[in-house]
Structure 1
């Protein structure tokens, strides 16, 4: 199999959510990765949006790399259809390995785990631990309230607009993923992300 054209890390819910648009977006993201010769890096689960994006990537001909803690494997939540399934001991190891294996990051709708992963790689970029693109796919207005709150943080003096500019937000899947992949490249300095945790 040819070397993937890029590796995109996708953060998203382990549940499908109530709005069918969420699963449709996950399907579209996986389809886009696979049809563009890419590789999905994700949390290794088989349920919810995570399972949807992984299956769509695989069916579209892309590679799937899952990273999952042993505790979740023990609960039989691992996706055994991954091309690579890395079983780690802690969430810290999981996130660090996912970051190392990725050229760019995108968050879809999800819960606190998704929020935490997104904010961590965004923070790492702010601190200069990496210079990889970070994106947020705002499906069906899911992140509208979060974006409004972040602007409140800027207005209150706890963040600057330059920090907001480090994360690309869009509602169009193709537009966002194309921008993230084009922004990633060989000029991105390799960073030992394991030293961050």
Structure 2
């Protein structure tokens, strides 16, 4: 694994533990020579993890839409900064440049990126590990919703099982390395009642 696409907040969150987790994860990535591919911002957890990887001598690839560059949120100290026109282009480039994906705490943008990449895996557009770094139980309610979707027959159990969930950064990286895709090719129930 050469690179991980990380989705996370443009804010720090209300608990210092999120900022500390971003630092720790970034340090681990740099120490293990794993490049960070992320949204290119210098704010919130995005800026925090980028700075941690850079401080550890690691590679950081940012992908940011021009509209956010215009708002002065682009990180100017990255190894590579790619400026694109749309959020769709941003997500596509991040998907192409990443060997795996990790969602950390964040808001609607993080949920959007996470759900899109999980859907791409489900549809077979990509076959890459997707993980939730569940810092401070942040994704617990989200996971309850996913489990409810499985119970109600809208998601297949193997799709849920394919999502890596971990609270420890070291273990998370090990699980990503050892990932084995368990998803079937059939996400649709073709039976008609």
| Same fold per superposition (TM over 0.5) | yes
Segment of structure 1 superposing worse, 90-99 or 154-163: 154-163
Q: Secondary structure at the match of 1:94?
A: helix
CA–CA separation in structure 2 for the residues paired with 1:166 and 1:61 = 32
Q: Give the superposition deviation at 1:149.
A: 1.2
Q: Secondary structure at the match of 2:60?
A: strand
Q: Give the superposition deviation at 1:65.
A: 0.2
Contact 1:15 1:49 in 2 (8 A): yes
Query: Structure 2, unaligned stretches of length 5 or more?
Result: 181-193
Which has more radius of gyration? 2
Q: What corresponds to 1:67 in structure 2?
A: 63
Q: Secondary structure at the match of 1:118?
A: helix
Q: What corresponds to 1:79 in structure 2?
A: 75
Indicate whether 1:128 and 2:120 are aligned.
no
Indicate whether 1:52 and 2:48 are aligned.
yes
CA–CA separation in structure 1 for the residues paired with 2:179 and 2:146 = 23
Segment of structure 1 superposing worse, 155-164 or 104-113: 155-164
Q: What corresponds to 1:18 in structure 2?
A: 14
Name which of 138, 148, 152 aligns with 1:152.
148
**Structure-2-length-normalised TM-score:** 0.91
Q: Secondary structure at the match of 1:51?
A: helix
CA–CA separation in structure 1 for the residues paired with 2:106 and 2:3 = 21
Name which of 36, 41, 44 aligns with 1:40.
36
**Structure-1-length-normalised TM-score:** 0.89
CA–CA separation in structure 2 for the residues paired with 1:111 and 1:44 = 16
Q: Give the superposition deviation at 1:181.
A: 3.3
What are the residue-to-residue correspondences of 1:104-123 with 2, within 5 Å? 104-123=100-119
Q: Give the superposition deviation at 1:115.
A: 0.4
Alignment size in residue pairs: 180
Q: CA RMSD in A?
A: 1.1
Q: Deviation digits for residues 28-70 of structure 1, max 9, x if unmatched?
A: 1100110101110000000000000000000111100000000
Runs of 4+ off more than 4 Å: none
Q: Give the superposition deviation at 1:182.
A: 4.2
Name which of 165, 170, 180 aligns with 1:174.
170
Q: What corresponds to 2:95 in structure 1?
A: 99
Q: Secondary structure at the match of 2:81?
A: strand
Contact 1:42 1:67 in 2 (8 A): yes
CA–CA separation in structure 2 for the residues paired with 1:37 and 1:158 = 38
Q: Secondary structure at the match of 2:125?
A: coil
